[in-house]
């Protein structure tokens, strides 16, 4: 999401950075688990983290991946004794500012500009979630994969001579977790895309050579990057 000077992220950084130390976490660290009591809201300064849930049978579903300059609020706001709805773990080394939940809620309740910015951020997040659900439900597992690849291009894409490099290391299992599919199904679909020269895969990074093919297959509406991302 583009961060204007009036974004909730920027307002929080301006207000809290002078008083709160920067916390560093190594790749693979767990910020919180599902159903943990909420202590903090997190400002991600740099790095990448995954948010998701683990099914009772042990299957992992990655809801979204966040990178630099993101706000992590994964609970019911202004609720008494809230709990996190998802887990959060770092995919790379990360830096955060941790804001106590009570301080965060007091800030947005007493600052009209912050409240307006929070509402805008929440409404955009709602639209993103709705669009991702639509893609996974309407297009099936293969279409869901294509949709995720498009979103990865929007969030992490770097233009190269070969195509759009998704500058985020991903295993086939992690990609399967993003679609709630099995690794075997995802591997077959990826093999088909490689054979058609739609994508390439090297050193855990995908390059999408023909994004127009993926968009045509899922009837892409060419939504803005603000809506069509993986964050």
Q: pTM above the 0.95 mark? A: no
Residue 39 within any structural domain of the chain:
yes
| Integer angstrom CA distances of residue 132 from 1, 154, 182, 228 | 15, 14, 18, 8
Give the tens place of pLDDT for each residue, 139-176.
777 888 898 899 899 888 899 999 999 998 888 888 88
CATH of the domain at 207: 1.10.10.10
Give the tens place of pLDDT for each residue, 31-82.
999 999 999 999 999 999 999 988 777 778 888 899 888 999 999 999 989 9
Residue 83 within any structural domain of the chain:
yes
Residue 57 within any structural domain of the chain:
yes
Residue 40 within any structural domain of the chain:
yes
| Integer angstrom CA distances of residue 181 from 133, 147, 175, 230 | 14, 13, 9, 17
Q: Of residues 122 and 5, which shows the higher confidence score? A: 122
Residue 123 within any structural domain of the chain:
no
Is there a single domain that holds both residue 39 and residue 85?
yes
Residue 151 within any structural domain of the chain:
yes
Q: Are 179 and 152 in contact (CB under 8 A)?
A: no
DSSP code of residue 75:
S
DSSP code of residue 182:
-
Which range marks the domain in which residue 75 is found? 8-110
Output the six-digit token pair for 195: 């054979």
Is there a single domain that holds both residue 99 and residue 158?
no
Angle at alpha carbon of residue 154, lines to 150 and 160, rounded to 5°? 95
Is there a single domain that holds both residue 20 and residue 65?
yes
* % residues pLDDT > 70 (the chain): 97
Sole residue written with tokens 């009591």: 37
Output the six-digit token pair for 147: 């949709």
Give the tens place of pLDDT for each residue, 179-223.
877 888 888 999 999 999 999 999 889 999 999 999 988 888 777
Residue 193 within any structural domain of the chain:
yes
Q: What is the mean pLDDT of the chain?
A: 88
pLDDT for position 193: 93
Residue 89 within any structural domain of the chain:
yes
Boundary residue ending a domain (110, 129, 161): 110
pLDDT for position 97: 95
Is there a single domain that holds both residue 105 and residue 13?
yes
CATH of the domain at 37: 2.60.120.10
The band of 6, judged by pLDDT with boundaries at 50, 70 and 90, is low
Boundary residue ending a domain (94, 110, 126): 110
- How many structural domains is the chain composed of? 2
Is there a single domain that holds both residue 106 and residue 149?
no
Is there a single domain that holds both residue 68 and residue 106?
yes
Is there a single domain that holds both residue 103 and residue 150?
no
Is there a single domain that holds both residue 43 and residue 101?
yes
The band of 1, judged by pLDDT with boundaries at 50, 70 and 90, is very low
């Amino acid at each position: 999401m583009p961060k204007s000077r009036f974004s909730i992220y920027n307002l929080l950084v301006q207000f809290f950075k002078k008083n709160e130390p920067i916390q560093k976490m190594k790749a693979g660290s767990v910020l919180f688990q599902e159903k943990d009591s909420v202590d903090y809201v997190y400002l991600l300064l740099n790095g990448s983290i995954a948010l998701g849930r683990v099914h009772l049978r042990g299957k992992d579903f990655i809801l979204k991946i966040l990178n630099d300059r993101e706000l992590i609020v994964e609970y019911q706001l202004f609720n008494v004794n809230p709990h996190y709805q998802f887990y959060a773990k770092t995919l790379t080394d990360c830096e955060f500012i941790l804001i106590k939940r009570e301080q965060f809620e007091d800030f947005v309740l007493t600052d009209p500009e912050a409240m307006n910015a929070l509402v805008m951020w929440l409404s955009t997040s709602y639209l993103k979630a709705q669009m991702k659900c639509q893609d996974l439900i309407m297009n099936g597992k293969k279409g869901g994969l294509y949709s995720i690849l498009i979103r990865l291009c929007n969030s992490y894409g770097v233009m190269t001579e070969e195509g759009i490099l998704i500058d985020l290391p991903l295993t086939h299992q992690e990609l399967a977790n993003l679609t709630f599919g099995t690794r075997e199904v995802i591997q077959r679909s990826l093999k088909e895309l490689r054979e058609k020269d739609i994508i390439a895969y090297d050193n855990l990074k995908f390059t999408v050579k023909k994004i127009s093919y993926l968009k045509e297959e899922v009837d892409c509406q060419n939504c803005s990057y603000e809506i069509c991302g993986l964050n």
